[in-house]
Amino acid sequence: MLDSFSEIIEVMGEPLYYNIHGAPHYILKWYHDEEHIFKYFRKIACQECAKVFVVEMCDPIYHKDDTDLDGAMYGDPPRHGSGCSAGDTMSSDMIGKLTDEEIDDLLKTKNDLESADKTASSTKQTTSDDAPKKSR
C-alpha cells in the first residue's frame, strides 16, 4: 500500500499525475516533454472501483532512458479514499499509454504555467526598472 496524500489532495484537488511512489504532482517537471510523457506516462485503474489514474512509471534519477515499459506493472494504485479501501492494497490494472490528446493536455498545462511565470517575471522586472532610483 502506498502512502496517503489525502491532506494534500483535499486542499489541492486531483493532481495531473502521480509519480512511481504514488505522490500527487500538480505541475510537470522541466524534463517532461512529449517524448518523455509518451514513453513513461501510463493510465492505470484500481481493480476494485476502476478509478483511472495517470502515473509516471519511472523516476528518471534511477532509470536509464532505454527502460522498456512494455509489460511493466505499476503495483498498488495511489491511495484514493474511504470508498475503496481494498483497492488501495490491490495491484492496479494497466490501461496503457496516454493518447495524443491527453499528452497535449498535459503539455498545455506546462506551457500555460511557463507563460504565466514569464509574464510575472517581466512584470516584476518592469516594476523594478520603473521604481524611482535613490541618489547617494
Beta-bridge mates of residue 42:
55, 97
Give Cα 74 to chain centroid, integer Å: 15
Q: What is the pLDDT of residue 99?
A: 92
Nearest alpha-carbon partner for 65 in 36, 108, 100:
36
The pLDDT of 2-22, averaged and rounded, is: 83
Q: With pLDDT > 90 as the criterion, what percentage of the chain qualifies?
A: 15
Instruction: Confirm whether pTM is higher than 0.75.
Output: no
Contacts of 76 (CB under 8 A, 6+ apart): 1, 2, 22, 88, 89, 90, 91, 92
Q: What is the pLDDT of residue 55?
A: 93
Q: Are strands 24-25 and 93-97 parallel, antiparallel or unpaired?
A: unpaired
Q: Scan for cell 512529449, then name that residue.
A: 34
Beta-bridge mates of residue 41:
56
